[in-house]
């Protein structure tokens, strides 16, 4: 009996039934070794984005932001674009904007003050972009006409002050290249991207895109996508922009012709006037035209206005015969035209090309934001206006302001000549005249800041 009750501890444990808790305790070391790597693997998996978020441009929330400041001559405007990215593509949701005056060029003598003048706009961006997204959100400051007119040293001083101010005071992403002066070609390139984005034409072949021609007061721009072969044959790399959108990189031909907008064009045409007057002005009109610091005589020809004679003078002012280094592929003023491939099969025209369409009755609905036409219709409208004297023009086109009515024959002849004799678009080719683009039920202007944002995020 005594021998049975005096077994060693080890023997005693072997004869007793263990509880579940005791077994866990006895194997705790092994369990610990197994559990640690499992926990680590779980933490790693938990921190990884879900499969659908891998295409969300790095944003777990499926939202991306871009801040673009358009620093113009009279004021600056900030655009804070919000894009949803859940589908793997950029979908514009909102464009919050705020503007202020004066422009950066007003602070030519104080670069620091110029930079600080942007504070309300940058603070607006801080309020709009969530704090956790700010370090991942790019800010671009693009100066346009105003800074172009300043001496190079003053403009560079302002740009450097803006870069320093952004870096020292705001958490946004901003490289040195994010603050710069935008020239006319840059604006044309980004406007092309905006237009094709709003139309839903990005992501496909070059032939799916449309060409953009914008005629302002001082310059006219043309932009359209070209294939790689055409891009490689450009006489200068300055003609081709590489732009990103819709998951693709496009080679885009862009040419901005400074001095060939509609107001500058009037001056160029009037400078070619003969002593006996001008065929582009209606009989009975005599006055002066001011542009670029010049006062030009504007007097009708004794025979009155004539479309054919006016168009010939306009064509001469455009310098359509000036060589560009590519025989048979020149547009005007010594510029290469890009060859007009499939990216120019569909052409959209805007600004004064739309306005003069409204003034002359080509656009028959004054509330329309787009209208399908042909260049030949500018010719027909010009021929009609040019057949009238000054008083008849005023009576027939009462909605044209007295300031512009005497120049309506010239303006329409100019629009036609730029399109057909300058850019080499066929008279009968369809062109779409646009004021705005409808996008998600809203009417939006195809301005360059949206294109800049898309390019930076794509």
Domains of the chain: 62-182 (3.30.420.40), 198-458 (3.30.420.150)
pLDDT, position 292: 81
**Given the residues 187, 427, 442, 445, the one annotated as active site:** 187
Residue 433 forms beta bridges with which residues? 349, 371
Assign 360 to helix, strand or coil: helix
**Nearest C-alpha neighbor of 355 from the set 433, 302, 417, 407:** 433
Of the candidates 277, 287, 261, 276, the residue with the CA atom closest to the CA atom of residue 406: 287
Helix locations, 361-447, DSSP H: 375-386, 390-396, 408-417
Torsion angle, alpha carbons of 204, 205, 207, 210, to 10: 50
SS3 content of the chain, % helix, strand, coil (to 5): 45, 25, 35
Per-range mean pLDDT, top range of 9-13, 59-63, 304-308, 413-417: 413-417
Among the ranges given (12-26, 264-278, 409-423), the one the predictor scored with the smallest mean pLDDT: 12-26
Question: pLDDT-based confidence at 39, cuts 50/70/90?
Answer: very low
Percent of the chain predicted with pLDDT > 70: 86
The residue-averaged pLDDT of 238-261 equals: 94
pLDDT band at 61 (very low <50, low <70, confident <90, very high): low
77 - beta bridge partners?
70, 99
Q: Which long-range contacts (CB under 8 A, 24 or more apart) does 93-96 make?
A: 93/63, 95/444, 95/450, 96/124, 96/128
- Contacts of residue 84, defined as CB under 8 A and 6 or more positions apart, other chains included, come to 62, 63, 91, 93
Phi-psi region of 203 (alpha: psi -120 to 50; beta: other; left: phi over 0): left
Whether the pLDDT of residue 392 is over 50: the answer is: yes
Please enumerate, by residue number, every residue annotated as part of a binding site for ATP: 217-221
The whole-number average pLDDT for the span 266-283 is 88
Flag whether pLDDT at 60 surpasses 90.
no
Task: Name beta bridge partners: 181.
Answer: 143
d(CA 4, CA 438): 97
C-alpha–C-alpha distance, residues 185 and 148, integer Å: 13
d(C-alpha 98, C-alpha 121), whole Å: 7
Q: Among the listed ranges 32-46, 209-223, 371-385, 441-455, which one has the minimum average pLDDT value?
A: 32-46
DSSP-derived secondary structure letter, 85: -
Average pLDDT over residues 424-437: 96
Q: Is 187 considered catalytic here?
A: yes
- The Cα 171–Cα 288 span in angstroms is 53
User: Is the pLDDT reported for residue 82 higher than 90?
Assistant: yes
88-91 contacts at long range (C-beta below 8 A, 24 or more positions apart) = 88/55, 88/56, 89/203, 89/246, 89/247, 90/57, 90/64, 90/454, 90/457, 90/458
Confidence bin at 29 (pLDDT 50/70/90): low
362 pLDDT band, cuts 50/70/90, is very high
List residues forming the annotated binding site: 217-221
Mean pLDDT of the chain, nearest integer: 86
Model pLDDT, residue 458 = 82
Span of 49-53, 172-176, 393-397 with lowest mean pLDDT? 49-53
pTM: 0.81
In this prediction, residues 234-260 reach a mean pLDDT of: 94
């Amino acid at each position: 009996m005594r021998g049975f009750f005096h077994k060693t501890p080890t023997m005693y444990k072997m004869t007793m039934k263990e509880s579940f808790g005791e077994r866990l305790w006895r194997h705790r070391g092994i369990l610990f070794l197994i559990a640690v790597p499992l926990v680590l693997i779980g933490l790693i998996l938990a921190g990884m984005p879900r499969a659908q978020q891998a295409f969300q441009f790095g944003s777990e929330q499926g939202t991306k932001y871009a801040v673009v400041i358009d620093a113009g001559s009279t004021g600056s405007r900030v655009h804070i674009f919000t894009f949803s990215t859940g589908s793997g593509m950029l979908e514009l949701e909102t464009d919050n904007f705020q503007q202020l005056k004066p422009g950066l060029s007003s602070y030519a003598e104080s670069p620091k003050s110029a930079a600080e003048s942007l504070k309300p706009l940058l603070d607006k961006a801080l309020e709009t972009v969530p704090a956790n997204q700010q370090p991942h959100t790019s800010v671009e400051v693009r100066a346009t006409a105003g800074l172009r007119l300043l001496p190079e040293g003053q403009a560079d001083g302002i740009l450097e002050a803006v870069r320093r101010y952004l870096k020292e005071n705001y958490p946004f992403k901003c490289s040195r290249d994010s603050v710069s002066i935008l020239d006319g070609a840059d604006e044309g390139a980004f406007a092309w991207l905006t237009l094709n984005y709003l139309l839903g034409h990005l992501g496909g072949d070059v032939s799916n895109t449309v060409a953009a021609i914008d005629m302002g007061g001082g310059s006219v721009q043309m932009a359209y996508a070209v294939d790689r072969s055409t891009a490689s044959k450009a006489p200068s790399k300055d003609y081709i922009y590489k732009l990103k959108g819709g998951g693709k990189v496009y080679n885009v031909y862009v040419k901005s012709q400074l001095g060939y907008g509609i107001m500058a064009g009037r001056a160029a045409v009037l400078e070619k006037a003969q002593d006996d007057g001008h065929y582009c002005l209606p009989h009975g009109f005599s006055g002066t035209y001011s542009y670029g610091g010049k006062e030009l005589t504007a007097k009708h020809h004794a025979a009155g206005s004539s479309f054919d004679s006016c168009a010939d003078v306009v064509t001469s002012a455009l310098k359509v015969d000036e060589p560009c280094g590519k025989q048979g592929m020149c547009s005007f003023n010594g510029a290469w035209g890009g060859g007009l491939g499939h990216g120019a099969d569909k052409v959209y025209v805007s600004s004064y090309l739309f306005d003069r369409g409204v003034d002359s009755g080509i656009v028959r609905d004054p509330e329309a934001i787009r209208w399908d036409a042909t260049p030949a219709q500018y010719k027909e409208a010009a021929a009609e206006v040019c057949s009238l004297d000054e008083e008849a023009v005023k009576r027939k086109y009462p909605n044209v302001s007295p300031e512009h009515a005497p120049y309506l024959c010239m303006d329409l002849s100019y629009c036609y000549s730029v399109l057909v004799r300058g850019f080499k678009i066929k008279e009968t080719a369809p062109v779409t005249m646009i004021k705005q683009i409808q996008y998600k039920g809203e009417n939006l202007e195809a301005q360059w800041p949206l294109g800049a944002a898309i390019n930076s995020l794509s």
